[in-house]
Amino acid sequence: MGLSMNVLALRKVKKILKKVNALKESVAQLSDEELQAKTPYFKQKIKEGVSLDKLLPEAFAVMREADKRVLGLFPFDVQVMGGIVLHQGNVAEMKTGEGKTLTATMPLYLNALTGKGTFLVTTNGYLAERDCEELKPVYQFMGLSCCFGAPEEKNLKPAVKRRIYDHDIVYTTNSALGFDYLIDNLAKDKESKYMRPFNYAIIDEADQVLLDTAQMPLIIAGAPRVQSNQYGTANTFVTTLKKDEDYEFNEEETNVWLTKDGVKRAQAYYGIENIFTEGHHELLQHIVLALRVNHLLKRGDDYVVQDGEVKLLDKNNGRVMEGNKLESGMHQAIEAKEEVKITPAMRAMASVTYQNFFRMFPKIAGMTGTGKVAEEEFINTYYMKVVQIPTNRPVQRVDLPDRIYVTLPEKLLASLEVVKKIHATGQPLLIATANVEISEIYSELLLREKIPHNVLNANNVPKEAEIIKEAGQKDAVTVATLMAGRGTDIKLGPGVKELGGLAVIGTEKLASKRDDLQLRGRSGRQGDPGMSLFFTSLEDEVVIKHGLTWVHKYYDKNKDFDWDQPRLLTRRKFRRALENAQKASDNEGQKGRETSLEFDESLRMQREIIYQQRNELINAQGGYDVEKIITDQIEQFVSTHPKLDAFTLSHYIFSNLTYHYQGDITQVDLTNANAVKEHLLGIAREELALKKGQLANQAEVANFYRTAILRAIDACWIEEVDNLQQLRTVVSSRSLAQRQPMYEYHKEAFRSYGKMKADVYQKIVKNLLLSSVVKTKKGNVIYFV
Ligand code: ADP
């Protein structure tokens, strides 16, 4: 059924392709000037209300011709088809080497004609810059502006960023774009804002960005939290515990907790009676964190230690994620485990996940070599279809069926034999491992066999370009983690086609089918010959985590082996067992992302309201009804304090309304709510009038009001973001207590939103009345409390 759907979708795309092709000849006849004149012509049509869909055939034909004249590359029919799918806001599945970069020029041109700005988003800044430089000439030829949007230097001035974002086409990275969005929404005034409303984005490696890394929140860190000194001791304590006695895992080994004995041990170790009481909350959290990082996270797999720093690895591509840290003390717990300097944990000031970030665009499109297997999720989460575009030339790569062994050593030895045989013929080999550790073990094995080779993993990124360049040459052997998976283009050296192209050897069943496919795709690009073969075992992580019980039992019974004779498991049930384990892993990934999206919903709604209110405030020209806010606040105070005493009243006055109260509280009838209210209003009006009197003109007053309100919103919103972040960690670790974590989370989030709103108003009043205006040479400066 999947196939026929694709055939159907392709048929529609091909119809449009025909129209583009029909214009090929006539567009080729145009002079350069006539071709360039098409841009203002299209823009005029758009102004007149002609839809982009209507303009597509001609605009694509024009851009295709421009590509040929300026870049010397004429987009193939399959590339035009890919471009059509991208314009329609769907995912175009195109294999490696099919020319996705060129494909994107057509939909970018068409959508940029609206003048509303477009993005080409990749995960890799280097690639974004390279593609931008390569393609800029053709956009400029056609009268559109294009620039690179993720420059290395941070803290660019808003004016500089505005210039970037005003370009018609911006090549950028998902992280630069996401962070810029968050920063833009922390702006204090119009001058500090630089982003235009979102319009259209094409996302390269769409499954990686929109699915795999989608849960990772982008976080702008603010002030540090109070540092805890319990990480070290908790880590030491945890290393004394015994598996199954003191702590145990869930079935998939994705979670770990203390047993009753473990709890007793902790209480004895710390000399306390009951660790579950309120006062030991933090200690318990530290122990849980230490347990998790010691037993669930692996160095070389989840993170590396470089220059005394713990750096997270992106599980999807084996690369270091610079500047990313785990939340809620987890990062500090790893630092304690690795005995490096413990860095301060920061409060989150603003955060958004990629999922929710990209869902804000009216239209997004995706390109990837592996989209179809995740189509259901694309449809559910982003309302995007996946259309498989045929390759320009037929794929010649031979994908051999997996070879399955019982244990890891057997699998490695067997693969080594195959590697030796292939290497003897001179055919280049790419040996892919799931983590840094295995890549290093494999390197040892090759050294022992005296086979020269390169190793590419998170520890030797600087040599990446050189290693990849060599990887397709005769006799080359390259051992790499998933870093060599996506996006790396391995070109074949002279004489290699005759040897059968690049041979890809996988050494593990990977966590996602998409990862397997990406690795195979390194070979056989653009009709080249090639082969791929995976060696797997019942010890592969995906089998340990997601294999059925009978598989584990079989493994336990057969795990001892004879070094001379690796046992190849040929029965169908093993093949199916491995496939099912991978499927279960992919399903878990998908479910995790769905849960994350659900969790994120409260934050998303709140963020949208807050950002919208900020924008309205920033754009409003005066007209802030601060007197109403003050009156409401005072009324609320009075109504919530029916039995008022003099002390409470004077405390309220001094901490909310004024520092210079001269009146006599004893003169106020505290039993008469109206009298109290009038008295307080009098104080507030006087104080506000005083402030206004110190300001030079109406514009300064408006500016003062706006800043007072913005600051109040920001201070409370930052608290709230941090709050929700913490709440989420707490609630998810509570799931064992048989509650519904999602329900609890939203309920609590709603409650804290209400509290935040109340806090905002109170803070606005304070900002208005308790601030002080100081005259300087440059003008009035306001100091807020
Ligand atoms: P992908 O990102 O799909 O793997 P790239 O965009 O990196 O592929 O393109 C791969 C190579 O194919 C590049 O060297 C590019 O110049 C070349 N190429 C792309 N489209 C064409 C075309 N229409 N004609 C000739 N060469 C092309």
Domains of the chain in sequence order? 2-218+355-388 (3.40.50.300), 226-344 (3.90.1440.10), 398-570 (3.40.50.300), 605-784 (1.10.3060.10)
Give mean pLDDT, residues 245-266.
82
Does residue 480 line the site of ligand 1, with CB under 6 A? no
Closest residue by CA, ligand 1 atom 6:
99
pLDDT of amino acid 739: 59
Distances (CA, A) of 487 to 96, 508, 524: 7, 20, 14
SS3 of 488-532 = CCCCCCCCHHHHCCEEEEECCCCCCHHHHHHHHCCCCHHHCCEEE
CB 430 within 8 A of CB 503: yes
Does residue 487 line the site of ligand 1, with CB under 6 A? no
Does residue 124 line the site of ligand 1, with CB under 6 A? no
Does residue 104 line the site of ligand 1, with CB under 6 A? no
In the reported structure, the alpha carbon of residue 75 is separated from the centroid of ligand 1 by a whole-number distance in angstroms of 9
In the reported structure, the alpha carbon of residue 103 is separated from the centroid of ligand 1 by a whole-number distance in angstroms of 9
Q: Would you tell me the crossing angle of helices 231-238 and 330-337 to the nearest 10 degrees? A: 60
Position 1 pLDDT exceeds 50: no
- The answer for residues whose C-beta is within 8 angstroms of residue 401's C-beta and 6 or more apart is 575
CB 45 within 8 A of CB 8: no
Closest residue by CA, ligand 1 atom 16:
99
pLDDT of amino acid 459: 82
Cα gap 254→256, rounded to integer Å: 7
Does residue 363 line the site of ligand 1, with CB under 6 A? no
Does residue 454 line the site of ligand 1, with CB under 6 A? no
In the reported structure, the alpha carbon of residue 66 is separated from the centroid of ligand 1 by a whole-number distance in angstroms of 16
Q: Which atom of ligand 1 is nearest the CA belonging to 369?
A: 3
pLDDT of amino acid 55: 97
Closest residue by CA, ligand 1 atom 15:
99
Closest residue by CA, ligand 1 atom 18:
99
Does residue 100 line the site of ligand 1, with CB under 6 A? yes
Compute how many other C-beta atoms are within 10 angstroms of the C-beta atom of residue 345: 20
- The answer for residues whose C-beta is within 8 angstroms of residue 53's C-beta and 6 or more apart is 87
Cα gap 698→704, rounded to integer Å: 10
In the reported structure, the alpha carbon of residue 78 is separated from the centroid of ligand 1 by a whole-number distance in angstroms of 12
In the reported structure, the alpha carbon of residue 98 is separated from the centroid of ligand 1 by a whole-number distance in angstroms of 6
Given CA atoms 331, 334, 336, 339 in this order, what sign does their dihedral have? negative
Position 172 pLDDT exceeds 90: yes
Q: Which atom of ligand 1 is nearest the CA belonging to 525?
A: 4
Does residue 101 line the site of ligand 1, with CB under 6 A? yes
pLDDT of amino acid 316: 74
pLDDT of amino acid 731: 67
Does residue 76 line the site of ligand 1, with CB under 6 A? yes
Q: Which atom of ligand 1 is nearest the CA belonging to 94?
A: 3
Per-residue pLDDT reduced to its tens digit, 484-504: 777 778 999 999 999 999 999
Listed range (163-177, 483-497, 525-539) with the worst mean pLDDT: 483-497
CB 118 within 8 A of CB 170: yes
Position 43 pLDDT exceeds 80: yes
- The answer for residues whose C-beta is within 8 angstroms of residue 521's C-beta and 6 or more apart is 95, 96, 369, 370
Closest residue by CA, ligand 1 atom 20:
99
User: For 195, which DSSP code?
Assistant: P
Position 3 pLDDT exceeds 60: no
Q: Report percent pLDDT > 70 for the chain.
A: 96
Listed range (128-137, 576-585, 624-633, 726-735) with the worst mean pLDDT: 726-735
Cα gap 311→330, rounded to integer Å: 12
pLDDT band at 707 (very low <50, low <70, confident <90, very high): confident
Q: Which atom of ligand 1 is nearest the CA belonging to 526?
A: 12
Q: Which residue has the higher pLDDT, 72 or 597?
A: 72
Does residue 168 line the site of ligand 1, with CB under 6 A? no
Given CA atoms 66, 68, 73, 74 in this order, what sign does their dihedral have? positive
pLDDT of amino acid 591: 87
pLDDT band at 224 (very low <50, low <70, confident <90, very high): low
CA nearest neighbour of 545 among 573, 575, 587, 507: 587
Position 677 pLDDT exceeds 70: yes
Cα gap 424→93, rounded to integer Å: 36
Residue with tokens 């309304």: 657
Per-residue buried b or exposed e for 382-413, using 16+ beta carbons within 10 Å of the residue's own CB? bebbbbbbebbeebbbebeebbbbbbbebbbb
Does residue 96 line the site of ligand 1, with CB under 6 A? yes
| CA 509-513-517 angle, 5° bins | 95
Cα gap 324→714, rounded to integer Å: 24
Position 431 pLDDT exceeds 80: yes
Q: Which atom of ligand 1 is nearest the CA belonging to 95?
A: 3
Position 159 pLDDT exceeds 70: yes
In the reported structure, the alpha carbon of residue 94 is separated from the centroid of ligand 1 by a whole-number distance in angstroms of 11
Distances (CA, A) of 656 to 625, 676, 753: 18, 15, 22
Closest residue by CA, ligand 1 atom 12:
99
Closest residue by CA, ligand 1 atom 17:
99
Position 12 pLDDT exceeds 70: yes
Mean pLDDT score of the chain, rounded to an integer?
A: 89
Position 322 pLDDT exceeds 80: no
Does residue 527 line the site of ligand 1, with CB under 6 A? no
Cα gap 496→232, rounded to integer Å: 54
pLDDT band at 221 (very low <50, low <70, confident <90, very high): confident
Q: Which residue has the higher pLDDT, 779 or 402?
A: 402
Per-residue pLDDT reduced to its tens digit, 381-398: 899 999 999 999 998 999
In the reported structure, the alpha carbon of residue 368 is separated from the centroid of ligand 1 by a whole-number distance in angstroms of 14
| Token couple for 278 | 């309120």
Per-residue pLDDT reduced to its tens digit, 721-738: 878 877 776 666 554 444
pLDDT of amino acid 543: 94
Residue with tokens 């100091």: 783
Residue with tokens 């720093």: 309
Give mean pLDDT, residues 270-294.
83
Residue with tokens 């990062």: 331
Does residue 161 line the site of ligand 1, with CB under 6 A? no
Compute how many other C-beta atoms are within 10 angstroms of the C-beta atom of residue 484: 27
Does residue 489 line the site of ligand 1, with CB under 6 A? yes
pLDDT band at 213 (very low <50, low <70, confident <90, very high): confident
pTM of the model: 0.83
Does residue 99 line the site of ligand 1, with CB under 6 A? yes
Q: Which atom of ligand 1 is nearest the CA belonging to 100?
A: 3
| β-sheet bridge partners, residue 310 | 305
Does residue 127 line the site of ligand 1, with CB under 6 A? no
Residue with tokens 């413990």: 342
- Under DSSP, is residue 149 helix (H, G, I), strand (E, B) or coil? coil
User: For 212, which DSSP code?
Assistant: I
| Token couple for 321 | 């994620």
Does residue 491 line the site of ligand 1, with CB under 6 A? no
In the reported structure, the alpha carbon of residue 99 is separated from the centroid of ligand 1 by a whole-number distance in angstroms of 3
> What residue spans of 220-279 are helical by DSSP H?
231-238, 260-270
Per-residue buried b or exposed e for 36-57, using 16+ beta carbons within 10 Å of the residue's own CB? bebbebbbebbeeeeebeebbb
Cα gap 729→438, rounded to integer Å: 32
CB 16 within 8 A of CB 59: no
Pairing of strands 772-776, 429-432: unpaired
Q: 310: burial class by Cβ within 10 Å (0-12, 13-18, 19+)?
A: buried
Mutate to test the pocket of ligand 1, among 64, 135, 171, 489 (most ligand atoms within 8 A of CB): 489
Cα gap 339→333, rounded to integer Å: 10
Give mean pLDDT, residues 20-47.
97
Cα gap 697→363, rounded to integer Å: 44
- The answer for residues whose C-beta is within 8 angstroms of residue 90's C-beta and 6 or more apart is 365, 366, 384, 385, 386, 387
Q: Which atom of ligand 1 is nearest the CA belonging to 204?
A: 2
CA nearest neighbour of 756 among 726, 713, 727: 713
pLDDT of amino acid 720: 87
| Token couple for 58 | 């001609």
Q: Which atom of ligand 1 is nearest the CA belonging to 97?
A: 4
Does residue 369 line the site of ligand 1, with CB under 6 A? no
In the reported structure, the alpha carbon of residue 88 is separated from the centroid of ligand 1 by a whole-number distance in angstroms of 22
